[in-house]
Each structure stands twice: as structure tokens, then as C-alpha cells.
Structure 1
Amino acid sequence: MRRPVRGGEGSPLSPRGPSLPVFVFPADLLFYSGQCRRVLTLYNPYSFPMGFKMLCTAPSLYTVLEAEGRVRARSCVDIVVRHQDVSARNWGRKDRFRLDVWGGGRTGSRLVWAELKRQHQTPGEAGGRPPSVAAPTHHRPPGGERPRPRSGNLLQFLVYAVAGLVCVAVLMLPLEDEPSPVVPSHVHVTASQKLACAYVLGLLTMVFLR
């Protein structure tokens, strides 16, 4: 269900307790005049389900798919954010989202800034030409030989895949202050380690989706 993001300070946080670290990617939402849709991923590396709710300082400018809901234990959810007015009058405007989470007797909050910029340009569009106008250019090495596929690309993909699997494994491990009858205490991880793995996993996800 698509609904506008509500503003204000109220949020169904329950019950009050120690602070709960919030793992999201990306840290900020960058919109462009030709790209009004962004995805914010909320990770739940904990052994209990977690509720969440998105608030915004400019609810009339944004629409969010599932602005509130729940995340299963050791899982994640994608929150789709759409900018409603990407006209030139809003270029450079910055707004603030607040993501409130609660679960396991603890609560947490994370601020995410959103900014609208002019049309995003890739390196091939540095001169401002639209992609549909630029004609593809093929270069052939001397002698008419076709370029051979580089084995480095496959090796790079394997490295990224292994790094992603390691990050997923770390996110599934219990925290150092969480008792576990299955996982030995010496392999428990800290919240900072999980935050770093969540960030790296988000970067790898963007690489794989290109």
C-alpha cells in the first residue's frame, strides 16, 4: 500500500528501554530530476522481530511504500521512497526523514537526509548529451583481432560474492551480549561490526544490480 509519509514527532515506540542501533543503507537519499524513486533498506540483524515507522519533515513532497511495518528476525526490508515534485524549484532542497524502530524491549531512531539534485550524469554524459543521442563506438585492436574477455572481471565478481557471503554470515551471528545455546561466545560480534557489514553489503548490492 502506498501512502504519504507523515510528519510530527509521534511514533508507536514501545516499550522504552536501552537504545537499539539502527542499520540502514544508504545513509542518505539522493534524488535527481530524472530519478524520483529511491530504495532505503532496513536491516534487522537481531534475534527478535522489529517494528518500524518512517516520519518526514516534508510529508507533502514524498510518498513511501509501506511507511510502517515489521521486519523479521535476521532479515531486511526495502522501503521505497518517491519524490513527488522534482521540478527545478526544489533542486538543492534537503529534507529529513526519521526512522523509528522498536523490538526486544528496546527502541532506536535514525535520521536519513534526502536531497534533490539536477539530472544525474554518468561519465559518458559529461557533455550533457542524452544517452539516446550518443552513438556507440567500437574499437578494434590492430590486426582485426577482437578483444578477449578479461579474466579479472570474473575474479572481481568472485571476490565480491565471497565478501557478500561473509557480510551475510556476520549479520546472522548474535551480538556479544545475546546468549545463544548454538553459537559459541567467542564468535559473537559487536553492533559496530554488524553496522560495517550492513554498509558493505549495501554497496555490494548496488554493484550487483548495475
Structure 2
Amino acid sequence: MKSRVARSTAAKSLPVFVFPEELNFIAKDQRTHKRLLTIYNPYNFEINFQVLCNTPERYAVTNPHGTVKAHCCVDIVIKHKCAHSGPYNTSSKFKVEAYHGDKLLGSKVVASHLKDETNLPEPTSESLEFTRFSISSEHPSISIARSSTATTTAGHSVGVLPVIVTVVCLVLLFLPLEEDVFTSFPPYIRVSVNMKILAAYILGIMTILFVKT
């Protein structure tokens, strides 16, 4: 089965799912100096990832590389080290690369903006030469591998509709792909990769909604 996965992934690149697709750091808002980036794995096999950046000296990233189990996700924290000193109104790029073994499956670019305050003109971009992060001893491994499920905080109420949407997204993520031949599920309840992409994206939005509730 693993050899079949390797052959199918070698034939074409697969989409990489991250949320959010853009990070905004506001110098005057201390709460925005750390951002959470979630890497999703909707596939039926384990993937490895690494996070690159074209301006790595400006950021501290917990666990810039690691593993995401099938149908799970990993949260990593990105801290802007120059939020107080600038340069302001500039843009950097992160690249999240996903691997199956030594084979590159695909990559996703995430824009990062540092602004002096909100509602300013579009930041200027830096060079697009990506560099690996070195793991700093002052930032312990705090990324959390968790199943792609959404929970609510005790004592807070969440509407029925978001819960229903979350359940539907989870069902779609756990259903087999259309081209998966190693499954007993009938074809009419298999889903496409595009449907899983949409479900993972909506699930990320729902997760943030539940966290803020």
C-alpha cells in the first residue's frame, strides 16, 4: 500500500493545506506579535513538513520541521522578533513544504506583513530566496499535534450551525479519496481532493471561531 501511495504522489504534486494563508503583525498591537499557523494533513498517509522563510532573521518559529499524522494537524507559533524596531510596512514570505519520505509532495507560500498600524498601504516585498530556520534552545517544542476536530471552551456557548458545519467537514476529511482503491467504501461516498481542500479550509475557520468564542 505504501508503494502505491509513493507511486501516486510521485506522478503529481499534492496541495498543501495551511491556515491562515496570510500573517499580519501590527507593531502597536502586542497581541499580534505572535501568530499561529496550522498545517493540515487530510490525506490517508503521514507527511513531513518544513517551514522556510526569505527573511528568517526576523522570526522565531517553534518546530520549523516535523511530522503530521494522517487526518491530523499541527500548530506552530511564529513570533516576529523585529515588531518593535521594524522595518515597517514590509512583506516577507514563508514556504511550507510537505514530504512523504524523501519525496516532495508540494509547497504552500504564506505572506507575512509587518505594519506600524492597521489600514496602511500594501507592504513592500522582500527577496524570495527561502532559508531554513535553525531551532533555538530558548523556544522549546510546543507545537501540538491534534486530530482535526473542533472543541468548545467550557462555559461558552456556540451556535448549532457552526457545530453542524464542523461535523460535516470532519466527515468529508475522513472519507476516502475517489482514487483510493484500498477501501471498501462505495464510490458514491468517496470525495475528491478539492472537496477535502474546501473542508480543511472551512474547518480552520471554524476552529478559530471556537477558540475566540
Same fold (TM over 0.5): yes
Question: What letter is aligned with 2:111?
Answer: W
Cross-structure match for 1:159: 161
Runs of 4+ that moved beyond 3 A: 118-121
Partner of 2:142: none
- Percentage identity across paired residues of the two chains: 34
What's the CA shift string for 1:62-120, capped at 9, x where partnerless? 11110001100111111211111102532211001111101276611111111112346
**Native 8 Å contact 2:44 2:71 kept in 1:** yes
Residue in structure 2 matched with residue 47 of structure 1 by the alignment:
44
Aligned counterparts, 1:75-114, within 5 A: 75-87=72-84, 89-103=86-100, 107-114=105-112
Alignment of 1:48-63 (within 5 A): 48-63=45-60
* Alpha-carbon distance change, 83 to 52 in structure 1, aligned in 2, over 3 angstroms: same
After superposing the two structures, state which structure 1 stretch, 167-176 or 99-108, moved more: 99-108
**How many pairs does the alignment contain?**
164
**What TM-score, normalized to structure 1?**
0.72
The one-letter code of the counterpart of 2:43 is Y
Unaligned runs of 5+ in 2: 1-8, 120-155
Distance 2:210 2:65 in 1: 27
In the other structure, the counterpart of 1:200 is 202
Deviation track 1:111-164 (CA, whole Å, cap 9, x = no partner) reads 11111123469xxxxxxxxxxxxxxxxxxxxxxxxxxxxxxx97x711001101
Which 10-residue stretch deviates more, 79-88 or 65-74? Answer: 79-88
Residue 117 of structure 1 corresponds to which residue in structure 2?
115
Among candidates 173, 181, 184, match of residue 175 of structure 2: 173
Unaligned stretches of 5+ residues in structure 1: 1-14, 122-152
Highest CA radius of gyration, 1 or 2? Answer: 1
State the AA in 2 paired with 1:199: Y
Match of 1:21 in 2: 15
